[in-house]
Amino acid sequence: MTHHTTQSPQFFLTAPSPCPYIDGQFERKVFTHLVGDKAPEMNDLLTQGGFRRSQNIAYRPACETCRACVSVRILVNEFKPTKNMKRVTQHNSDLVGAMHDAEPSTEQYSLFRKYLDARHRKGGMSDMTVLDYAMMVEDTHVNTKIIEYRRRGPDSFITGHGHGELIAVALSDQMADGLSMVYSYFDPEMDERSLGTFMILDHIARARAAGLPHVYLGYWVNGSRKMNYKVRFTPQEHLGSKGWERYAHEAV
């Protein structure tokens, strides 16, 4: 049995593999295990240092010739939605998100599979089974939550729960200085709702209500179309060689 010490974590380096974002590049990652009583504290420190969490692993890019992946966090207290974002919020005003402990369900997996099959058929997660999905949700030693989005019910303002079919899901970590969006997915047949944008806006609202200054969005890759949405949520900070620095970008 392998023993992992939380006081002095061991870091490992993956072998090179083709980059999923930039053609012709190869990626490597440095990673460590997030286990034990100190895992939440370690997750906070590593996330602030540019790491991401996947199950009980914290990782960050360690590519030899490329620094395109940049950690992004939104400055919650200064954030102001654009006109388009206000329209997205209004369009989804019939939805309510219920937050609870990270527990998987068959309903979640059905929506997850529908999303993958429509949006990421050739991606690295495309062959995930229901057991793989359960591990993605449950295998955590930090304060992880699931937010399920459904249409508002008559008792939504009492219970905080919607009713009807599951429309979108976010898996997120609650940290000392913010919320970290680990993974999110939604009904691909509801493109007109811009549910990805709506869930980020909802996380900003939740962080602000909880007095948390940041929402962590993971990595932005300049030049990758699938990542462009992340820099629309301003003001935000990017992690560089001098630490977290404000990023100048005109939101639309």
- Per-residue pLDDT tens for 172-200? 999 999 999 999 999 999 999 999 999 99
pLDDT band at 21 (very low <50, low <70, confident <90, very high): confident
pTM: 0.90
H/E segment holding residue 244:
strand 243-247
- Percent of the chain whose pLDDT exceeds 90: 77
Give which of 250, 249, 173 is closest to 215, Cα–Cα: 173
Give which of 51, 37, 30 is closest to 7, Cα–Cα: 37
pLDDT band at 59 (very low <50, low <70, confident <90, very high): very high
User: What is the rounded distance in angstroms from the CA atom of residue 21 to the CA atom of residue 226?
Assistant: 9
Name all domains of the chain by residue range, CATH numbers in brackets.
12-68 (no CATH), 73-247 (3.40.630.30)
Question: What pLDDT was estimated at residue 124?
Answer: 64
With a cut of 50, say whether residue 1 has pLDDT above it. Answer: no
With a cut of 50, say whether residue 6 has pLDDT above it. Answer: no
Pairing status of strand 12-13 against strand 162-175: unpaired
In tens, the pLDDT along 37-49 reads 999 999 999 999 9
